[in-house]
Amino acid sequence: EAGVTQSPTHLIKTRGQQATLRCSPISGHTSVYWYQQALGLGLQFLLWYDEGEERNRGNFPPRFSGRQFPNYSSELNVNALELEDSALYLCASSSPGRNEQYFGPGTRLTVT
């Protein structure tokens, strides 16, 4: 069984640009979660999508947004990038009704 995949592996953007990160969940999983992990720090919850709907949102500004597609893959968009957005962005997925989350390898976003 394939695990959670994310693309791209690395992304370099300049301040003010937009970034788009992608995630494909494990087959059969309907929920996708996005987390931000700044260097050496913990996991900050960003967004939770399930069955195409946004179900929960962390304490991040509106320029962090996303969506979930009918095949349950998801996209995270970060607009008006700021230097402090530089971090590892992790996606996780879970099966219906369960909170056991399985993480992807992450996308390393660098904002210069």
Partner 1 sequence: GENVEQHPSTLSVQEGDSAVIKCTYSDSASNYFPWYKQELGKRPQLIIDIRSNVGEKKDQRIAVTLNKTAKHFSLHITETQPEDSAVYFCAASNERGYQKVTFGTGTKLQVIP
Task: Name which of 13 and 57 has its Cβ closer to partner 1.
Answer: 57
d(CA 27, CA 73): 10
Please check whether residue 11 is in contact with residue 37, taking contact to mean a CB–CB distance below 8 angstroms.
Answer: no
Task: Name which of 11 and 43 has its Cβ closer to partner 1.
Answer: 43
Closest CA to 41 of 90, 97, 83: 90
Token pair listed for 5: 């995949």
- At its nearest, how many Å lie between partner 1 and the CB of residue 90? 7
- At its nearest, how many Å lie between partner 1 and the CB of residue 11? 17
Question: Can you give the binding site for partner 1, defined by CB under 8 A?
Answer: 33, 41-43, 45, 48, 50, 55-56, 58, 90, 97-106
